[in-house]
Copies of this chain bind each other. A is one copy, B any other.
Amino acid sequence: MVKQDDIREIIINVARNIFTKFGFRKTTMEEIAQAARKGKSSIYHYFHSKEAIFIAVVDKETSTLHLALTEAINTASNPEDKLRAYIHTRMEAINNLANLYSALRDEYLDHYNFIEKIRYSFDNKEITMIKEILVDGVNKGDFIIDDLEMTAFGLITALKGLEYPIFVKKEYVDFEKKFEGLLNILFYGIVKKKKFILRPTKKRI
């Protein structure tokens, strides 16, 4: 059926707007129904709960982001540029999604553990994508990476850390600049290379 999916789509879209405005808790099914020009009960014909709608909204949003990221990656020609593109696109998107995201942050206190799950699955997708880029870079001989898992984890962590100032302060102005600098560190490090000295390989404990 086309109709069915259309209406689902409508509900998801109107719900998205209301969720971003008021957050999960303060958004009522009545509001969603009215915005979708439906009776409240009708909504339950398409989604079995408010949670389900919220998840659908986030799913759509993340898959859109996923698409944008994939395209950004594919457009770039080498692993280094891919990583640059990924990070830029990601931060751009996060900046736009700030409202919806803050809706998450504000209420993850109220043990909405399904929100935890959402974040978790998103994190996993992200770690997968980054790992792909890194592996690609290693295979092509562009990167040298000891522990892939750890590097990906570290990258995500740093990126997440950078989200915070975006939310709180309006510091996004010169963020482009900062990213550029951070990326250079990531790629080249800060230690001056000396002749005849190879990078030391450490034993792990």
Contact = CB atoms under 8 A, between A and B. Distances in A.
Interface string A136-178: 0100011111110011011001111110110000000000111
A53 B190 CA distance: 41
Contact of A202 (B80, B134, B164, B180): B180
A1 interface: no
A181 B181 CA distance: 20
A103 B151 CA distance: 31
A184 B141 contact: no
Contacts of A187: 189-191
Contacts of A162: 157, 161
A192 interface: yes
Contacts of A180: 202, 204
B178 A185 contact: no
A146 B192 contact: no
A182 interface: yes
A204 B191 contact: no
Given A157-B158, A190-B137, A185 B151 contact: yes
A92 to B, nearest CB: 15
A190 B143 contact: yes
Contacts of A3: none
6 contacts: A80-B191, A143-B191, A153-B178, A154-B181, A154-B185, A160-B161
Interface of A: 80, 109, 134, 137, 141-147, 150-151, 153-154, 157-162, 164-165, 176-178, 180-182, 184-193, 199, 202, 204-205
Q: Which 4 A-B pairs have the closest CB atoms?
A: A161-B161, A189-B189, A150-B181, A188-B189
